[in-house]
Amino acid sequence: MSEPGTRAEPAAPDSPSEAVLSVRGLRAWYGTMGDPVRAVDGVSLDLRAGETVGLVGESGCGKSTLGRAMMGLLPEGTAVAGEVRYRGRDLVGLSDSELRPLRGPDLGLVFQEPMTRLDPLVTIEDHFLEALRAHESDTDTDEMRRRSLAALAGMGIPPTRFKQFPHEFSGGMRQRIMIALALVLNPKVVIADEPTTALDVIVEAQILQILADLRRNFDAALLLITHNLGIVAETCDRVAVMYAGQIVEEGNAREVFTEPAHPYTRELLRSTISLSTTGLHYIPGAPPSLVDPPNACRFHPRCPNAMQVCAQKDPIEMPPGAEAGEQREGRVLCWLHGPADEIPPGGERPLEREEIALAEEA
């Protein structure tokens, strides 16, 4: 499979020197019998100590692939390019044996599918002891058990179930076990991929509190991958919105939720149900195929604000509000925010739906 292309790199987020984990121009393309699947296509993002970043977007936009690419956990046949720097060390290109010591005490991952990640032939106790022995072989076994039980207790699982097998737990409890396994080594960076899936709202609140305690007490950086915009609004410091393999908007969570700059972000928020909802709203269409994404702006076939230029040229990252001279923290990948001198004559004319259909047929 060929190496990912050389499209212009997106602008780097602010203050990379403060980042524990810094991603620059990351691409992860899956090999297929035909063209590659561009699951992550030029992403830059920083995770800072003591901060929670929410990563949101529809299913199929590349969020889970981004999280696993940052951990070096992608399958064979995946072409990866760009940089993932952890404390100044680039992890892209390292072998599995070089990355393995970092997974656990430095980089923790909460997987989305707990049943496929727990060995059905091994007790929960042995899962924890194996993880701790791999990274802290000098620690006494009794101390390992104490820490394991404390991690499980924090997830609401009693010590009486420590020697049971995964099949003896419900789906929600297996999810909590996976989270406890990721946190028992107190990692510096935690990538949580839908950590509250299949959990009721009470347990969900408990888990979010535990993740908040982790970053507060241990100064950990947390990337929270989720579809739940309510969780992001309540728990995250910053939010990154992903669409078709790219970050289309990133900034302070409060500002993004109150003044969304990208049309996709606005449509996502309009589709959220709340107590004040009087009618359902949805985004017409579906995310594009990542084998053959649309030319130029990837959201333009579904965008209510699409202009001629959106179908002609790749958008350039700009600070939100730049077009009005009122820049704020963050970045947005959208021609609505300029730069004006890059838009060709007539490019600001609205793009009609008929023109989009003709372009797609061509």
Let me know whether 278 and 166 are in one domain.
Answer: no
Let me know whether 83 and 121 are in one domain.
Answer: no
Which residue intervals of the chain are DSSP H helices? 63-71, 96-99, 114-117, 124-135, 141-154, 171-183, 201-218, 229-235, 253-258, 263-270, 353-361
The last residue of a domain, from among 289, 311, 327:
289
Let me know whether 170 and 283 are in one domain.
Answer: no
Q: 323: pLDDT confidence band, cut at 50, 70 and 90?
A: low
CA distance 261 to 98: 40
Question: Does the model's pTM come out above 0.85?
Answer: yes
Let me know whether 222 and 275 are in one domain.
Answer: yes
Q: 14: pLDDT confidence band, cut at 50, 70 and 90?
A: very low
Q: Which residues contact 49 (CB under 8 A, 6 or more apart)?
A: 18, 20, 188, 219, 220, 221
Question: Would you say residue 307 lies in a domain?
Answer: no
- Bridge partners (DSSP) of residue 38 are 29
Let me know whether 144 and 214 are in one domain.
Answer: no
- pLDDT tens for each residue of 148-191: 999 999 888 999 999 999 999 988 888 889 889 988 998 999 99
Question: Would you say residue 95 lies in a domain?
Answer: yes
Number of C-alpha atoms within 13 angstroms, CB side, residue 325? 0
- pLDDT tens for each residue of 296-311: 999 999 999 999 999 9
Whether 141 has a pLDDT exceeding 70, the answer reads yes
Let me know whether 97 and 205 are in one domain.
Answer: yes
The last residue of a domain, from among 183, 198, 230:
183
Question: Would you say residue 330 lies in a domain?
Answer: no
Cβ proximity of 332 and 317 under 8 Å? yes
- Bridge partners (DSSP) of residue 190 are 108, 222
Using a pLDDT cut of 70, give the percent of the chain over it: 90
Pairing between β-strand 78-86 and β-strand 19-30 as defined by DSSP bridges = antiparallel
Question: Would you say residue 37 lies in a domain?
Answer: yes
Cβ proximity of 175 and 195 under 8 Å? yes
The last residue of a domain, from among 159, 183, 207:
183
Cβ proximity of 249 and 265 under 8 Å? yes
Question: Would you say residue 214 lies in a domain?
Answer: yes
Whether 11 has a pLDDT exceeding 80, the answer reads no
Q: Tell me the CATH number at 3.
A: 3.40.50.300
Let me know whether 25 and 147 are in one domain.
Answer: no
Whether 1 has a pLDDT exceeding 50, the answer reads no
**DSSP secondary structure, 326-348, as one string:** ---SSEEE-GGG--GGGSPTTTT
Sheet holding 89-90, edge to edge: 37-48, 19-30, 78-86, 89-90
- Bridge partners (DSSP) of residue 22 are 46, 85
Number of domains, the chain: 2
Let me know whether 20 and 69 are in one domain.
Answer: yes
Let me know whether 284 and 238 are in one domain.
Answer: yes
Let me know whether 75 and 149 are in one domain.
Answer: no
Let me know whether 140 and 34 are in one domain.
Answer: no
Question: Would you say residue 302 lies in a domain?
Answer: no
Let me know whether 135 and 263 are in one domain.
Answer: no
User: Which one, of 181, 73, 172, 179, lies nearest residue 123 by Cα?
Assistant: 181
DSSP classification of residue 181: H
Average pLDDT over residues 184-207: 84
**DSSP secondary structure, 184-212, as one string:** TT--SEEEEESTTTT--HHHHHHHHHHHH
Question: What mean pLDDT value characterizes the chain?
Answer: 87
End-to-end Cα, the chain, rounded Å: 26
Domain span at 102: 1-106+187-289
